[in-house]
Amino acid sequence: GLSAFIVERGTEGFQVGSHIETTGLRGSQPSELILDHVKVPQDNLVGKEGDGFYIGVKTYDRGRVDVSAQGVGIAQAAYEAAISYAQTRMSFDKPLIDFQQVQYKLADMAIGLHTARLLTYWAASLKDQGKEFVKAASIAKVTSTETAEKLALLAMMIHGGYGVATEYPVERFLRDSQIIKTYEGTNDIQRLTIAKQLIRELKE
């Protein structure tokens, strides 16, 4: 079976390759890892021999809670940007926030944000208590990342033409939301995980 090892920086045959440019989360700087006939000592084994797949799966499970929190953060930033702009941008001698259409958008943003945050707290709480949290983590991940995308789009709509201008942050929120929907397992994979957990629970 697969085994997990720590490959330390400076190990012969291991080097960090070129930086990979991404559409969003540009501060993360993902890079290519090159391993050429690398030899790793037995002491660098993580867990037991053959546990690599299990360790990887559990790492992804925990990571989904973290990604959920990222989604909440992006959604919160989009919400705050929309509120700020709607309060200060004037149209027909009154701020945008006075228009009912804008109020509907802000209300939807508030609903989505609070839902995503509470689901993330739920998943994190189960994890911290040592309880089964796989389904909760997947539910939170799908909800928070898709909420981040939705709120970024709504914020862009409220900003009008400025929504696509790089001098305003909302276009970045949309780009970032695309990345978090993908890593730690795509949202389609999360839906499969949720369904499998539901089916398993029905059989118990």
Active-site residue numbers?
184
CB 3 within 8 A of CB 51: yes
Q: Which residues does residue 159 pair with via DSSP β-bridges, in sequence order?
A: none
CB 23 within 8 A of CB 179: yes
Angle between helices 170-180 and 134-159 (to 10 degrees): 160
Q: What is the pTM of this model?
A: 0.88
Nearest Cα neighbor of 10 from 30, 47, 31, 38 is 38
Under the banding of pLDDT at 50, 70 and 90, the label for residue 111 is very high
Taken in order of first residue, the domains within the chain and their CATH numbers are 4-46 (no CATH), 53-203 (1.20.140.10)
pLDDT tens profile 36-63 = 999 999 999 999 999 999 898 888 899 9
- Alpha-carbon span 86 to 106, nearest angstrom: 9
